[in-house]
Structure 1
Amino acid sequence: GFVPCTPLLPKRVFQVQLLQFYHHLVNRCPRVAAQAFVKALCDVRAVPYEPNWAQQFSTAYDVYLAIIQQVRTLVRKSLHRSSPDWRILNACPACQIRVVGEKVLPVRMMVAIDGNNSLKRIARRDPPSESGILGKSRERSDPRDGGQDGYLTTEEVEEWDEKKWKYSGNDMVDSEDESECNERWKNMKEESTAVALGKYEETGLFIMLCRHGFVLSMADMVRSGEQRKYALAVLNRFLSAEKRDREEKKEPKPAGELLVGYDIGCETAKTVKRCPLCPLALDQKLRMVVGLMHGHAHNRLCQLCYLLLYVVGAGLEDLEGCERFFSKSNSLAGKTRYQSRFHRRQAISEYTYHNDNFEVYANLSDFLVNNYRQALDLVATQDVLVEQLRLAEIEDTRVFFSWLDEERQYLRSREKVPVRETLEMEYLRNLKELEICRGILSTRTEEFLGWTVDTSKRELDALERNTRHLREEEMKHMRNIHVLKQKLEIDKTWERGSDEWERVDLMTQNANYQKALDHLEGLLVSRIFELGKAHLAGTGYKMRQHLLNAIRNRSKAIQTAIEKYNDAAKALRPPRRTISWDEIMDYTFLSEFDILRDTRDDVRHKPWAQPANRQLSNQFFKILRAQEELERLHVEIQRLYTFMKEETQFLLKAEQILKAKDPAFANQVRGYRMERGRFNEIHRRRLEKI
């Protein structure tokens, strides 16, 4: 058949086979634009390219996609799969299919959410005014949406803007949930994510994936950064669909948790507690966690609460699937940057549909088999761990859990510096600066009084000016000291060598030590992923040394920070041990810095603070998670086998029924069946190797 490029009196048409070929080509390689494809056709046909042909081809392609979408809708309707929630609840056979008699897992499903700003779209506006005000929108009105099921509208997202929240009764967040991660992650700061470059209308895409990579829900980020409302909107969409499905089927509440991995999962957990989503999240047993890759850039207390390594039932999943998805979908950016809103959503929807059915599903059994082998390899190291535990004189592995509790309690017990201590340190600082100022002033005064007729007027003016500035500085310190004495209710001014002076002086040294450590830790955040690669098991010695040398050569600021830290450590009483560049490279990311923060000597002698014990603890939890992964894989493999069998039988039966009534439509059902069915035999062969 042929598709015209105009509804009336078309002068040019395009073959359906050609449009179908371009459809599959552009989904495999999104960088191929319509103009480049039409020019290639002209080269093949040996005809010169006309500028309007690309537009005509795009129009015909829109018609083709509209037909495809209508056929999909009719097929799903005939199969009773046309409800808005059906796709989001049946996207992944390994996660969402339930088999009678299967083992109940502590974590029923794992998903990942994240935003990416590659898929931005330029707003079509008039040039801005001289004062910088954005020009009037020139966007053509288009009633078409372009999104598929699970693609949230802007209105659905805006309902979760914090300004529209109704009181939920959970405004108070437990103090133990407070974290120090806010300074490390820009998307935790609403003031950073609330603004975006004015030339962009859509500033990115926010998605939700299952652990196998199937897209469950997504939303456009509009004229803002990665705000909280996007995470809350996609979570609400998924949780609401699950709840409606359970109520329709009259099923009880879920037995297992729903783990949601997010690079700022710690902050999002607090947001969920105080927003209207809280009752639904509790009902569906939502639990926010932090993915393994991003988790190592969080502080240690946050890791102990949210890192997947310590979450029961998480298995070996890293919940970093969004990063892998974006690494592929970034190729869409060149095409969608200047498209209309409809065509951008259309391109993203078609890409995700194709990716789910022809990439993720095709590699599903490969994912399961690889995870199975990885889990077996880790479990095989159990004998080595037992021997190491014997040498370390650790008789019961339950001690690792108690160590985690002790470390968590210790980190939570660290309080911020009280207001009085802050004022005392400020008071002592002013006393010291006043002492230094008076010493210099005394010297300058003697020089001023000792002038002679030989002293030049220029030198005399400079000396007079310096003396005047020093007296002004002296008065400033005296005023500060007077105010602080009143606030602290100090009757007698502290003198050097007094008990109060020595006590606060030691407190100041500790504060300087903490400040130097914070600065060093902050610099390492920027290199955290390179450090992670250097410490990965499987990274060869030469590659590890190459990475460490590259970090060293490009990180002069880190070396300077190490020197300042060592100076602050030596100034303590008693002095703390200094650290070297090589020791920094041996640390397990930033988590090791938190045990340096305690200025008391005894913490370094606690079992959980010993590097060897921490390594054994990590190895133990990895093996524990590997055993959980095997249990999950046994369930997921059974689900995949069941899905392949029952789905094929169901669709074949529907196809046979329709063939007698409408052979052409039955052929469309067959095409729907073969979208995923073509990979079933490959799945069986792969799974039989286990």
Structure 2
Amino acid sequence: MKYPLAMVRWLLDHYGADVGLGYDIMCAFWKTLKRSSLGADVTAMRLQGVVPAFHGHAHNRPCQIGWHPLYIEGVGLEDFEECERTFALSNHLAVATRLATVFHRQQQIDEHFQFHDQDKHAASGNFIFQNYRQALEKIGSNRGQLSALEQTLGTTAAHYELDHLTEVKYFEGLRTEPPEFQQTADYMELLQKLFSASISADQAKTDYIRLDFNIINNGYTKKEITGVRTRYRTSWTKYTNSEEDTARFEEEQGIETRWAVDSPQYRDALVLSTERRYRAAISEVERLVVQRLFELTKLGMSGVGTYTNPNFT
């Protein structure tokens, strides 16, 4: 994190207060920034962190409503993806420099970014003007539609702010599960560990009882004998520890009768635990799918194709 921290320090020193800064992982970086030596300056100078629009859609919904440009006042039409456009333009260097010497490759890269900096600086005035013009056009064209919708639905600007705050509070409430759900899930985890340890201990005990028989009739070697004795000792220790953990939890939570596998409480809790793991798996799959889609989109960018030498067929 030392590089983005140094960049924030430079921005605060050169541009002062009320700066909007986009970063792909701003939602995570912000915690580091607030705990750093820059935390007081960031608060005093009202630095606003933003997750760029393109990357924001790969983040979960609670992150989006707090960090996506769509929900941050003052960013206007900016999507904070200029770095992505710069990287995309630099992809054209791959074809032109892949067979060049080290010197000419570095020379080409240096000239490319020098021209890019000069070009962007020259076009900055027109960029600001065009953004301002587009913002005025959108306000003018959408104001009538918004007024008609407000009359039909009976809403005002205050309702939009309230809806946003309500959604934020809703997701904040989902950060921790209800206490009864957490208690049930924890108890089920202990019971399943206990039942598994009991089965392993019973099997190890059976093998230990039959050890002499297996030595005489099945020719157990020293390695196999040691394995049986070790499993017998360790499995019983695991079962004892699991029994103590379960009994302690039951005492703390006031559970008088332990749930049996065929009891209604155990069956209901098993359904709850299964659904809990299913929702977590679905969320993880959704995250991986979105991530993969963005990766495939980047793979399809122009200028990153392989070089074809005309001397070879």
TM class by smaller structure: 0.5 to 0.7
Structure 2 counterpart of 1:428: 191
**Equivalent AA in structure 2 for residue 494 of structure 1:** W
Q: Which SS does the other structure have where 2:266 is aligned?
A: helix
1:357 positional shift: 2.8
1:240 positional shift: 1.8
**Which of 229, 246, 251 is the equivalent residue of 2:2?**
229
**Equivalent AA in structure 1 for residue 68 of structure 2:** L
**Equivalent AA in structure 1 for residue 245 of structure 2:** L
Alignment of 1:600-639 (within 5 A): none
CA contact (8 A) 2:62 2:168 kept: yes
Q: Which SS does the other structure have where 1:288 is aligned?
A: strand
CA contact (8 A) 1:269 1:287 kept: no
1:521 positional shift: 2.0
What do the CA deviations read for 1:470-525 (whole angstroms, capped 9, x no partner)?
Answer: x9698587445413224414465322455753563354134223222223222223
| CA distance in 2: counterparts of 1:302 and 1:416, whole angstroms | 16
Q: Which SS does the other structure have where 1:318 is aligned?
A: coil
Q: Which SS does the other structure have where 1:276 is aligned?
A: coil
Are 1:282 and 2:43 an aligned pair?
Answer: yes
1:366 positional shift: 5.8
Are 1:238 and 2:28 an aligned pair?
Answer: no
| CA distance in 2: counterparts of 1:396 and 1:299, whole angstroms | 28
Q: Percent identity between the aligned chains? A: 27
CA contact (8 A) 1:428 1:505 kept: no
CA contact (8 A) 1:258 1:285 kept: yes
1:282 positional shift: 3.2
1:294 positional shift: 0.7
In structure 1, stretches of 5+ residues that fail to align are 1-227, 244-253, 449-456, 459-467, 534-690
CA shift in 2, pair 1:329/1:295, >3 Å: same
Q: Which SS does the other structure have where 2:156 is aligned?
A: coil
Normalising by structure 2, we get a TM-score of 0.67
| CA distance in 1: counterparts of 2:87 and 2:267, whole angstroms | 56
Structure 1 counterpart of 2:31: 270
Structure 2 counterpart of 1:403: 163
Alignment of 1:320-469 (within 5 A): 320-332=81-93, 334=97, 338-339=102-103, 344=106, 350-362=111-123, 364-365=125-126, 368-369=129-130, 372-373=133-134, 376-377=137-138, 379-389=140-150, 393-416=153-176, 423-430=186-193, 433=196
| CA distance in 2: counterparts of 1:284 and 1:347, whole angstroms | 39
What do the CA deviations read for 1:576-623 (whole angstroms, capped 9, x no partner)?
Answer: xxxxxxxxxxxxxxxxxxxxxxxxxxxxxxxxxxxxxxxxxxxxxxxx
CA shift in 2, pair 1:240/1:349, >3 Å: farther
CA contact (8 A) 1:293 1:318 kept: yes
**Equivalent AA in structure 1 for residue 171 of structure 2:** L
| CA distance in 2: counterparts of 1:529 and 1:371, whole angstroms | 30
CA contact (8 A) 1:268 1:288 kept: no
1:396 positional shift: 2.5
**Which of 5, 14, 21 is the equivalent residue of 1:260?**
21
CA shift in 2, pair 1:264/1:337, >3 Å: farther
Q: Which SS does the other structure have where 1:526 is aligned?
A: helix
| CA distance in 2: counterparts of 1:330 and 1:423, whole angstroms | 51
CA shift in 2, pair 1:313/1:415, >3 Å: closer
Are 1:312 and 2:73 an aligned pair?
Answer: yes
Q: Which SS does the other structure have where 2:49 is aligned?
A: strand
CA contact (8 A) 1:263 1:295 kept: yes
| CA distance in 1: counterparts of 2:290 and 2:25, whole angstroms | 15
Are 1:525 and 2:290 an aligned pair?
Answer: yes
CA shift in 2, pair 1:369/1:326, >3 Å: same
**Equivalent AA in structure 2 for residue 338 of structure 1:** V
**Equivalent AA in structure 1 for residue 67 of structure 2:** Y
1:359 positional shift: 4.9
CA contact (8 A) 2:52 2:80 kept: yes
1:317 positional shift: 0.8
Q: Which structure carries more strand by proportion?
A: 1
Q: Which SS does the other structure have where 2:19 is aligned?
A: strand
1:309 positional shift: 0.6
CA shift in 2, pair 1:487/1:507, >3 Å: farther
Root-mean-square deviation (CA, aligned residues, Å) is 4.3
CA contact (8 A) 2:51 2:67 kept: yes
1:387 positional shift: 4.1
**Equivalent AA in structure 2 for residue 395 of structure 1:** T
| CA distance in 2: counterparts of 1:325 and 1:388, whole angstroms | 40
Structure 1 counterpart of 2:64: 303
CA contact (8 A) 2:58 2:291 kept: no
What do the CA deviations read for 1:342-377 (whole angstroms, capped 9, x no partner)?
Answer: x95x86665444323335524752663366347524
| CA distance in 1: counterparts of 2:175 and 2:120, whole angstroms | 49
CA shift in 2, pair 1:420/1:301, >3 Å: same
CA contact (8 A) 1:316 1:375 kept: no
Alignment of 1:57-68 (within 5 A): none
What do the CA deviations read for 1:74-111 (whole angstroms, capped 9, x no partner)?
Answer: xxxxxxxxxxxxxxxxxxxxxxxxxxxxxxxxxxxxxx
1:431 positional shift: 5.3
Normalising by structure 1, we get a TM-score of 0.33
| CA distance in 1: counterparts of 2:76 and 2:285, whole angstroms | 33
| CA distance in 1: counterparts of 2:75 and 2:267, whole angstroms | 50
CA contact (8 A) 2:77 2:131 kept: no
What do the CA deviations read for 1:310-352 (whole angstroms, capped 9, x no partner)?
Answer: 1111111101011111222344564899359xx95x8666544
CA contact (8 A) 1:433 1:477 kept: no
**Equivalent AA in structure 1 for residue 14 of structure 2:** A
Q: Which SS does the other structure have where 1:361 is aligned?
A: helix
CA shift in 2, pair 1:291/1:275, >3 Å: same
CA shift in 2, pair 1:413/1:401, >3 Å: same
| CA distance in 1: counterparts of 2:164 and 2:273, whole angstroms | 31
CA contact (8 A) 1:293 1:320 kept: yes
Alignment of 1:479-490 (within 5 A): 479=240, 481-490=242-251
Structure 2 counterpart of 1:187: none
CA contact (8 A) 2:185 2:269 kept: no
Alignment of 1:53-202 (within 5 A): none
